[in-house]
Amino acid sequence: MWQVTSDVGDDVRSLWRSYRLSLVTSAPTKRRSRHVSSVIRHPSPVTRYSRAFTIVELLTVIAIIGILAAMLLPVLSRAKITAQKKQAAVEISQIVGAIQQYDSVYGRFPVSAADQTLAGTNDFTCGGAGYDINGVNQLWIMGVTNNSEVIAILMDITTYSNGVQTVNYNHVKNPQQTVFLNAKMSGDTSSPGVGTDLVYRDPWGNPYIISMDLNYDEQCHDAYYCHQGVSQTQPNSQQGFNGLFNPDANGASDNFLYHGKVMVWSAGPDRMIDNANPPTTPANTGVNKDNVLSWQ
């Protein structure tokens, strides 16, 4: 009986010693934990703030941004020109479609009696003496009018903004009062769109040039692209650029024609064409290269 009791006592004393030993060894850990927590809760000034940029670093960043911007600007410029050329192509297509629809409805082209008389048995290009492209008087154009008369008829406009009558006054050229062409009005005489002078200008501010097959032979003769120096692909060839053709032997004349009724074009982003008389710059080079053509 005594032996059992003694063993139990020894066990109790052993457990008590183990408990005290655990308290001694665990105390420093708890203190260290409290110290670490204190460091985390109260960061020193060194860890609280980030290091500031130096002047050299700041100037370097600004220089890099400048270089990237300089690299990006040409890309943006090309993208803008591409968008403008697409816009011009759309507007040109709309003009061609409007003229063809007018011809289908009335059996004639939207020109004034004066222009019809001037053309006689020939085709007609809108944009005559005094019709400037990039500030240069284009004397090569047949006729004496710009495209305002055609636009007034197609848009069924009877008077200019100043009250002056158009060739369509009292809807004489458009009795059904049909609006064949919906175009943006620019509000002045230089911006893209239809100006107060009723001249339809391309995205670069130049008037669209319009040629029509007034003699109804299904061959359209443009006063500029008819020229051998502009449209002939190679010497002694009847083939012209962009599908034009010269029926004369060896193409040795200014008679390059488009197989169709209407030709509409723009001088393009550079706003320039070869203004020599006669012009000699081929359609695929120089100032003529960027022109936007309905037959292209």
The confidence band for 272, taking pLDDT boundaries of 50, 70 and 90, is confident
- Indicate the pTM of the whole model: 0.74
pLDDT in tens, 75-92: 788 899 999 999 999 999
Is residue 17 scored above 60 in pLDDT? Answer: yes
Is residue 16 scored above 50 in pLDDT? Answer: yes
Nearby residues of 164 by Cβ (< 8 Å), 6 or more positions away:
none
Give the model's pLDDT for residue 36: 44
CA 69 – CA 47 distance, rounded (Å): 36
Closest CA to 210 of 109, 120, 290: 109
Overall size of the chain counted in residues: 296
Is residue 9 scored above 60 in pLDDT? Answer: no
Is residue 46 scored above 70 in pLDDT? Answer: no
Nearby residues of 113 by Cβ (< 8 Å), 6 or more positions away:
167
Is residue 263 scored above 70 in pLDDT? Answer: yes
CA 106 – CA 152 distance, rounded (Å): 16
